[in-house]
C-alpha cells in the first residue's frame, strides 16, 4: 500500500494543503497520509525524524504557492537558503531516496526554475508538476487522485470505500505541470518510532473533514474590483481593505471597545466557514482571531470560535443578545497543539450543521457541541481583545463558505 507525504509551507499554503489533505483522506483514508513534521519536540534530532517520515512514504506531494520560493524568516533570509529548513529537508530527503516527488502548484504559482533553488533542490525543477486551481478544485483534485492511483499505485484504504452514489474518480490523462509540496496527515506507521523518539505530540487526533459540499462563497482576495467582501467599514473605528492578496481588518480607534469585524453571507441552511488567518498585532495573551456563524442582527449574537495563537488556546462560545458575557460551549479556554504560534497562519473552520456546532484548526477538530438556539444568520470574521488596543490587526486569506 503506497503512502503519500504532503509537504507545504505554513506561511505559503496552509489552507490549500489542508483542503487537499481533506480530499485525499476522504478517498484514500487518512492512514495513507503524513502531515506536519514541524511539531517535533525540543531535544529530538529533527533531521532524523524528517528522513524517517519521508522514507516511509512512496510519494511526496510538494505544495507550492506564490510565497513558497520567497518566504523569509525574521532576519530576512530566504527560508529555502537555510539548510535546516523543514520544507527543504523534506524534499531533499525524498529526492535523495528516489521517492517520487510531485510538485503541486496552487494559487496560480509558477514552477521554480533550477537557478532559483538551492543546489540540493535543483532536481525539483525537472519534475513534472500538477496544477490545482481554486476555481477548479473539485475537478483538479479528482485528476490528481486518478494520477496517484494509476501511475503511482496509491489505492484507497478499505475503510475509505466510496459511499453509495459517490461518483467514480475520473481516469482521463493528465497534462503534466510543475507542482508544490506540503505534508499533512496521520502517523500510523511511524507512531511507534515517533513515541520512542519522544515526539508523541506529532500523533495528533486528526479528524479529516469530508469535503462533500456545495461552494457558497470563495474568495482569494486577489482583485478588489471583484471582491465579495466589503472594501470599506461602515464603523469609523475599524478599517477593512484588500491588500497584497489578503483581507486586512484593523482597529484604529483605541477608545472603541468593540472588536473589528466584517459581516457577510446570511444563510438559512447548514454551512461551514473556513479561512486562513494570522495576527499582525504584537503577541499578547489577550488577542485572538475570530470566525462566527449564524450571527444575528441584534448584538451580533451567534456562535464564535476564538483562537489565541500566542498561547495556542481556543474557546467555542455562544453570544446571546440578552447577556453581556458569552456562554462558553464545551468548557473554558483550552490548549491545542494544532494551533500554530503567532505570527504564523492558522486555518480556522467553524461548521453549523443542524444542532451541531464544530470547530477545527489546521484540519484538526478541536471542539464539537450540540446547541440549537440559532439556526440561521450571517457570518463574520474578525480580531478581538478584552479591551482597547490600537495595535489590533489581522489578515485573512482563502475564504471558503460551503453548504453542509
Start-to-end CA span in the chain (Å): 32
Nearest CA to 19 out of 340, 270, 347, 314 is that of: 347
As a whole number of angstroms, the distance between CA 381 and CA 247 comes to 10
Location of each CATH 2.60.120.560 domain in the chain = 215-403
Answer yes or no: are the C-beta atoms of 77 and 151 closer than 8 Å. no
Answer yes or no: are the C-beta atoms of 105 and 129 closer than 8 Å. yes
pLDDT, average across residues 226-254 = 86
Nearest CA to 389 out of 264, 247, 238, 277 is that of: 238
Computed on alpha carbons and rounded to an integer, the radius of gyration of the chain in Å comes to: 21
Answer yes or no: are the C-beta atoms of 66 and 9 closer than 8 Å. no
Question: Which DSSP helix (H) or strand (E) runs through 138?
Answer: helix 137-150
CA-CA-CA-CA torsion sign (16, 97, 58, 193): negative
Q: What is the pLDDT of residue 294?
A: 94
Cβ neighbours for 234, distance < 8 A, ≥ 6 positions apart: none
* pLDDT over 90 (residue 398): no
Q: What is the pLDDT of residues 298-330, one digit of tens each?
A: 888 999 999 999 889 999 999 998 888 889 998
Assigned CATH class of 215-403: mainly beta
* pLDDT over 80 (residue 155): no
- What is the DSSP annotation of 229-270? S-SS-SSTTEEEEEETTEEEEEE--TT--SPPEEEEEEESS-
- Which one has a higher pLDDT value, 68 or 3? 68
Nearest CA to 374 out of 354, 393, 344 is that of: 354
Question: Is residue 27 very low, low, confident or very high in pLDDT (cuts 50, 70, 90)?
Answer: confident
- What is the DSSP annotation of 154-188? ----GGGPPPTTPPPPP----------B---S--T
Beta pairing, strands 393-403 & 214-219 = antiparallel
Minimum mean pLDDT range among 130-134, 218-222, 238-242, 281-285:
281-285
pTM exceeding the 0.85 threshold for the entire prediction: no
Q: What is the pLDDT of residue 197?
A: 38
- Which one has a higher pLDDT value, 72 or 186? 72
Amino acid at each position: 500500500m503506497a503512502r503519500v507525504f504532503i509537504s507545504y509551507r505554513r506561511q505559503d499554503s496552509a489552507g490549500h494543503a489542508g483542503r487537499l489533505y481533506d480530499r485525499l483522506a476522504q478517498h484514500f483514508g487518512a492512514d495513507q497520509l503524513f502531515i506536519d513534521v514541524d511539531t517535533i519536540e525540543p531535544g529530538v534530532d529533527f533531521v532524523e525524524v524528517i528522513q524517517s517520515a519521508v522514507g516511509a512514504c512512496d510519494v511526496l506531494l510538494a505544495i507550492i504557492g506564490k510565497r513558497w520560493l520567497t518566504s523569509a524568516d525574521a532576519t530576512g533570509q530566504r527560508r529555502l537558503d537555510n539548510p535546516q529548513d523543514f520544507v527543504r529537508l523534506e524534499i531533499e530527503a525524498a529526492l535523495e531516496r528516489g521517492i517520487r516527488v510531485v510538485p503541486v502548484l496552487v494559487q496560480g504559482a509558477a514552477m521554480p526554475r533550477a537557478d532559483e533553488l538551492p543546489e540540493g533542490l535543483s532536481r525539483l525543477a525537472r519534475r513534472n508538476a500538477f496544477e490545482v486551481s481554486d476555481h477548479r478544485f473539485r475537478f483538479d483534485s479528482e485528476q490528481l487522485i486518478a494520477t496517484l492511483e494509476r501511475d503511482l499505485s496509491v489505492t484507497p484504504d478499505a475503510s475509505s470505500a466510496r459511499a453509495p452514489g459517490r461518483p467514480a474518480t475520473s481516469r482521463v490523462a493528465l497534462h503534466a505541470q510543475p507542482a508544490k509540496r506540503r505534508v499533512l496527515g496521520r502517523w500510523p506507521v511511524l507512531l511507534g518510532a515517533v513515541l520512542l523518539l519522544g515526539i508523541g505530540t506529532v500523533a495528533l487526533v486528526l479528524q479529516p473533514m469530508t469535503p462533500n459540499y456545495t461552494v457558497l462563497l470563495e474568495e482569494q482576495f486577489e482583485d478588489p474590483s471583484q471582491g465579495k467582501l466589503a472594501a470599506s467599514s461602515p464603523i469609523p473605528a475599524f478599517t477593512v481593505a484588500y491588500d497584497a492578496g489578503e483581507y486586512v481588518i484593523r482597529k484604529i480607534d483605541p477608545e472603541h471597545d468593540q472588536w473589528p469585524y466584517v459581516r457577510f453571507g446570511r444563510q438559512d441552511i447548514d454551512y461551514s466557514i473556513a479561512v486562513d488567518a494570522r495576527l499582525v498585532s504584537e503577541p499578547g495573551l489577550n488577542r485572538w482571531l475570530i470566525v462566527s456563524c449564524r450571527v444575528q442582527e441584534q448584538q451580533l449574537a451567534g456562535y464564535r470560535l476564538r483562537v489565541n495563537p500566542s498561547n495556542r488556546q481556543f474557546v467555542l462560545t455562544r453570544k446571546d443578545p440578552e447577556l453581556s458575557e458569552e456562554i462558553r460551549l464545551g468548557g473554558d479556554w483550552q490548549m491545542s497543539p494544532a494551533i500554530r504560534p503567532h505570527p504564523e497562519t492558522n486555518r480556522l473552520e467553524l461548521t453549523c450543521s443542524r444542532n451541531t456546532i464544530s470547530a477545527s484548526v489546521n484540519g484538526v477538530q478541536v471542539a464539537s457541541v450540540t446547541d440549537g438556539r440559532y439556526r440561521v444568520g450571517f457570518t463574520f470574521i474578525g480580531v478581538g481583545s478584552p479591551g482597547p488596543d490600537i495595535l489590533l490587526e489581522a489578515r485573512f486569506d482563502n475564504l471558503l463558505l460551503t453548504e453542509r
